[in-house]
Amino acid sequence: MSPCMTWGCIMKKITTAALVVGWLFQAQVAGAQDINVRCNNDLLDPAQARARLEWARYCGLTKNVGSPMPANPAKREDLGYLSVNGQSLIEFYEDFSSTNFWSLRTYTSVGVEYQINDTYVSKQWQNGLPSTSLDVYGFQKWTRPATKAIARPMYPTFGTNASPEFGSPLFPHEHLSTTDCNLYTTRNGGSVRTDFYVNGYCTSSCYTPEQKVRMPKGDVAIREAIDSLMPEVMTVAAGSTLDDFKLVPNKVATYTTELYDTEHVIFEIEMASGGLLRVTDEHPIIQSDGRIVQAKTLKVGDELVTAQGKLDPIAKVTRTTHFGKVYNLKPATSERITHVLVAENYLVGSSAFQNEDVDYINRVIMFRSLPAEVIPQ
């Protein structure tokens, strides 16, 4: 791979989308559900996810187990640009996609081009140039400020087959250690597997089970939608504006649920009209100015947008907890505005705005139409 010579190229390298699981898992809802089931069997909290990323970075840099085995790491590249603290940005590649298309015996995925530093930062921080330092092993390490941290970092999950549909899950030992880069059949050890694959990167969930999401057949509880693997969800159409939008069906790329009941911070948002939203604190919601914000930032008097295009003021916000499972979904669309859904009759964002598009939080994504009098005739 030739060094990046343009700003666009370097930014592509250091702002890799947070959710890249490779072509194997993007084709259909059934395959997407398989990776989510795998994630549910490998459920980590944010602190554990960051620890898994540390472990995977170390193992990818120092424990190459490919065949034939290239040096550790397989490739070092000076990207030709400076970090925030004025150091040349160095990327390390764990393997080569030209010879290892399946993420076999690696700790980073072919879907992220085996880029170790970029994967480490993009899965747990928002986009932006990183700062650099040398880790205790002498490798350059990239980080970003705590203010850029993603609330729900993503982490690699592993299996015995390139596709989670056909393989069984594998786990690092639950007591992560830089002296043990093995993958086991159980979390506390079990049998060591020498052939292992990165199956994807796991994410988190947002809706309580009774919350209804707009589907082509009507409003359906998110849990029911997941249980029946509904293939389509209604989203805001491409080209829509805040004053003139329509809803269209789009394919569902991924559903997310959880295997275990855990405690979640929930914001109950009661509207002047009597409407009620119950979502996790980081859930993206559309305000009356077209800005996408996190639920925890909303206050009394703020206005949300209904599916009919009306503005509905918030009458009460209550912070509470929910012990159980939460759920989420992501449409199989590329335009950001088409990741706006309808939950309980209000415009909200999909899981994309908590991961690969998290840097769009607090930005306007739905603009108002231009007045007719300013449009040239």
**Interior angle at CA 94, CA 89 and CA 98, nearest 5:** 110
pTM: 0.59
Percent of the chain with pLDDT over 90: 49
Q: In this model, does residue 28 exceed pLDDT 50?
A: no
pLDDT tens digits, one per residue of 326-369: 888 889 988 889 999 999 999 999 877 766 555 566 678 777 65
What number of CA atoms fall less than 13 Å from residue 206's CA on the CB side?
Answer: 28
Q: In this model, does residue 226 exceed pLDDT 80?
A: yes
User: Which helix (DSSP H) or strand (DSSP E) does residue 129 occupy?
Assistant: none
Distance of CA 299 to the CA centre of its chain: 26
Question: Would strands 276-280 and 340-343 be described as parallel, antiparallel, or unpaired?
Answer: unpaired
Residue 159 and residue 197 in contact, taking contact as beta carbons nearer than 8 Å: yes
Q: Quick one: DSSP state of residue 50?
A: H
| SS3 category, 77 | strand
pLDDT tens digits, one per residue of 192-213: 999 999 998 887 666 778 889 9
Domains and CATH numbers, the chain: 34-203 (no CATH), 212-364 (2.170.16.10)
Sequence letter at residue 35: I
What's the pLDDT band for 376 if we cut at 50, 70, 90?
A: very low
pLDDT tens digits, one per residue of 267-297: 999 999 999 999 988 888 999 999 989 899 9
Sequence letter at residue 305: V
Better-predicted residue by pLDDT, 42 or 135: 135
Percent of the chain with pLDDT over 70: 81
Output the DSSP codes for 258-275: -SS-EEEEEEEEEETTS-
Q: In this model, does residue 22 exceed pLDDT 60?
A: no
What is residue 43's predicted lDDT score, i.e. its pLDDT?
74
Span 240-263, mean pLDDT? Answer: 83
Span 170-179, mean pLDDT? Answer: 92
Distance of CA 9 to the CA centre of its chain: 22
Is the torsion defined by CA of 47, 50, 54, 56 positive or negative? positive
What is residue 329's predicted lDDT score, i.e. its pLDDT?
87
Better-predicted residue by pLDDT, 282 or 27: 282
User: Which helix (DSSP H) or strand (DSSP E) does residue 64 occupy?
Assistant: none
pLDDT tens digits, one per residue of 208-225: 788 899 999 999 999 899
Q: What are phi and psi of 259, to 5 degrees?
A: -80, -35
